[in-house]
């Protein structure tokens, strides 16, 4: 029995470390193996799904998502950044807000919700991502120590205490230690951490690279007459509205209550997939599409702009576009090539490499 358990858990650790299978699939396979081998009865194996701690954690994830979908967290971030004049002050305000929110919701979910807000703020203020995202993670952890529901470990220990004849923890019983610890930790993140963290480029992975785009609201768009908050551009589509152009005037940093009208041009920042999703669902057109629509005849073929990634094993690797006869063979024109955070525009003799974006 002991040897069987050892091999099972060793295999699970290998799968967790290598991620050959999704984590949830690995966990369910372990559970199934324990039942099939007779180590656990089905009732014992499935008892955890009905545990009050698990249900509480599930409820906290739902609560955090509701706060995000209804715009409460977006309103908190907007209020904090609007009251500060510098990017550093805005970042400090958001870190304090993250600690406060994570005290009453799941700190893991809070980090995920605030991640795009902090990333956009860091890009606008010119703060390296390494000095914004790591403090975000620690601020949520510090806030989670204040209350019983702030982190899953608190809930697990609190749920196990009655089984050993100990009195359950109160909701704010940990605050006597957690609040001073969170306060000292935030001061450390404000004044010490920026001196120690490396200043790495704010651009993360290629898949998360942000673009600036001009999107015009058409007459058919559901955004016409809606406020930025009600439109859900940031909440549902991941778009950060930097400015709005209307009748020759530009409104920079419009507030959440700003009303969008048909014909407005939104200057937005987002990843390419988010831009394409918003355009397809909200009736938005880019400046280049407007120009093409004006120049094309009724029977002209529609043009498209795409981004493609050179995958391992591609025939293009190690060859220039001219050598591969890319335009003649595929009928496509490459406008630019992105490699290792650098964009190359003169492409005739540029050789492709794995993970290059064209």
| Strand locations in the chain (E) | 210-217, 240-246, 249-252, 265-271, 284-286, 337-339, 342-344
pLDDT confidence of 188, banded at 50, 70, 90? very high
Distance CA(194)–CA(156), nearest Å, equals 34
How far is CA 3 from each of CA 6, 8, 9, 10, 15, rounded to the nearest angstrom?
A: 5, 9, 10, 10, 18
Convert the pLDDT of each residue in 203-229 to its tens digit.
Answer: 444 444 566 788 888 888 888 888 888
| 304 close to 284: Cβ distance less than 8 angstroms | no
Q: What is the mean pLDDT of residues 184-198?
A: 91
Architecture of the CATH domain 211-295: 2-Layer Sandwich (3.30)
pLDDT in tens, 314-337: 777 777 877 778 777 777 777 777
Paired strand residues for 250: 245
The ranges assigned to domains in the chain are 2-50, 60-196, 211-295, 306-358
Q: Do domains 211-295 and 306-358 have the same CATH topology?
A: yes
Assign domain 306-358 to its CATH superfamily.
Regulator of K+ conductance, C-terminal domain (3.30.70.1450)
Phi, psi of 264 (to 5 degrees): -65, 145
């Amino acid at each position: 029995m002991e040897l069987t358990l050892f091999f099972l858990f060793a295999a699970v650790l290998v799968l967790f470390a290598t991620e050959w299978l999704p984590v949830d699939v690995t966990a369910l396979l372990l559970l199934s193996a324990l039942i099939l081998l007779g180590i656990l009865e089905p009732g014992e194996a499935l008892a955890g799904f009905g545990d009050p701690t698990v249900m509480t954690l599930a409820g906290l994830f739902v609560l955090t998502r509701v706060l995000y979908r209804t715009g409460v967290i977006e309103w908190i971030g907007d209020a904090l950044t609007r009251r500060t004049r510098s990017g550093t002050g805005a970042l400090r305000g958001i870190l304090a807000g993250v600690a406060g929110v994570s005290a009453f919701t799941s700190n893991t979910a809070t980090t995920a919700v605030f991640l795009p807000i902090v990333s956009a703020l860091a890009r606008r203020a010119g703060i390296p991502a390494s000095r914004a995202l790591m403090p975000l993670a620690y601020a949520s952890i510090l806030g989670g120590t204040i209350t019983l529901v702030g982190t899953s470990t608190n809930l697990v220990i609190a749920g196990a205490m009655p089984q050993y004849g100990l009195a359950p923890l109160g909701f704010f019983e940990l605050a006597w230690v957690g609040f001073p610890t969170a306060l000292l930790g935030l001061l450390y993140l404000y004044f010490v951490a920026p001196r120690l963290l490396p200043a790495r480029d704010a651009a993360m992975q290629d898949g998360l690279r942000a673009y600036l785009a001009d999107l015009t609201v058409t007459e058919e768009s559901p955004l016409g007459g809606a406020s930025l908050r009600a439109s859900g551009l940031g909440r549902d589509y991941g778009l950060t509205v930097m400015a709005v152009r209307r009748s020759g005037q530009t409104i920079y940093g419009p507030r959440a209550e700003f009303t969008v009208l048909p014909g407005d041009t939104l200057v937005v920042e987002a990843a390419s997939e988010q831009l394409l999703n918003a355009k397809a669902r909200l009736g938005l057109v880019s400046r280049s599409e407007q120009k093409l629509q004006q120049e094309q005849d009724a029977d002209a073929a529609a043009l498209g702009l795409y981004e493609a990634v050179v995958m391992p094993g591609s025939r293009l690797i190690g060859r220039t576009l001219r050598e591969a006869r890319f335009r003649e063979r595929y009928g496509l024109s490459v406008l630019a090539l992105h490699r290792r955070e650098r964009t190359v525009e003169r492409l005739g003799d540029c050789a492709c490499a794995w993970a290059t974006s064209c």
